[in-house]
Structure 1
Amino acid sequence: MDPIVLAAGSALVSAMATDGWQQARDAVATWWRRARPERADSVGADLDMLRAQIVAARADADGDAERALAGVWHLRLQQILEDEPTLAAELQQLLDDHLAPALPPDERVQVRSVVMKADARDSSRVYMAGRDQHITGS
């Protein structure tokens, strides 16, 4: 799954339980109108229903339900990018400008998108990490 989809979907679900949700919701609905104009009317209702489910899941400390709901939105966003890959830059901007800022600082760190590429040739080795890395041995 595209890293931006994972980051945006997770941030979307996490932002729903914050005080800044209304502004983030409006930005998501605007982006969705451009991405899926035929579903523009229903996405607002979908987001409102999802918010109610997320708030209930957090009140019940039901992490499984929250992860499942995030998975649904990961799939929805992935489908949009598969159909229209040029929207990835706009999704990144939505994440950076609206979703991530709505999150508390400790959750904001968790939704960063990290993309790493490497090319190893001959007998070389590549070690990559998005955070801490400890290598032992040779």
Structure 2
Amino acid sequence: MDPVVVAAGSALVSAMATDGWQQTRAAVVEWWRRRRPDRADEVGSELETVRAQVLAAREQGDEDTEQALAGSWRLQLQQLLREDPALADELQRLLDEHLAPAPSEGDRAQHRPIVMRAEARDNSRVYQAGRDQHITGS
């Protein structure tokens, strides 16, 4: 399977559970509309159905279902590339610009750089953590 298909299928299903889903969905439907106008509305409906399944799977901790749904999208995308191999570059662009974009403002806040400095002398100890820290024992 083409690597861009694997990445795009996985990213698409992962994006379904994000706050930016509606923008991603719109970009994917528009991409299909330009490539296969006869299927665009059907794809839009299917995306919503699959999104509901992804959200339910995540709520239940069902990773197998989520992987199966990603696999289904990979197959659809692979078939599209089989019919028109020139679409690989456009699929890569869709992946780069809409399916796997830069982190949102909230994500950036959670993943900001941390600089820590410490100095220990004699029998002292230093414990540092960028986030949660659990120390047991003495």
Q: Give the TM-score taking structure 1 as reference length.
A: 0.73
Residue equivalent to 2:40: 40
Instruction: Please list every run of 5 or more consecutive structure 1 residues that lacks an aligned counterpart in the other structure.
Output: 106-138
Opposite residue 47 of structure 2, the aligned amino acid is: L
Deviation readout 1:32-71 (Å, 9 max, x if unpaired): 1122211112111000001000000000000000000000
Please give the root-mean-square deviation of Cα atoms over the aligned residues, in Å. Answer: 1.5
The alignment partner of 1:85 has SS state of coil
Residue equivalent to 1:26: 26
Opposite residue 54 of structure 1, the aligned amino acid is: V
Alignment of 1:40-119 (within 5 A): 40-101=40-101
Deviation of the 1:103 alpha carbon:
6.5
Instruction: Please list every run of 5 or more consecutive structure 2 residues that lacks an aligned counterpart in the other structure.
Output: 108-138
Which runs of structure 1 show a deviation greater than 6 angstroms over 4 or more consecutive aligned residues? 102-105
Alpha-carbon distance change, 51 to 94 in structure 1, aligned in 2, over 3 angstroms? same
> Does the CA-based 8 Å contact 1:11-1:103 persist in structure 2?
no
The alignment partner of 2:101 has SS state of helix
Percentage of identical aligned residues: 66
Q: Give the TM-score taking structure 2 as reference length.
A: 0.73
Distance 2:18 2:29 in 1: 17
Opposite residue 86 of structure 1, the aligned amino acid is: A
Deviation of the 1:102 alpha carbon:
7.0
Deviation of the 1:80 alpha carbon:
0.3
Distance 1:80 1:71 in 2: 14
Opposite residue 49 of structure 2, the aligned amino acid is: M
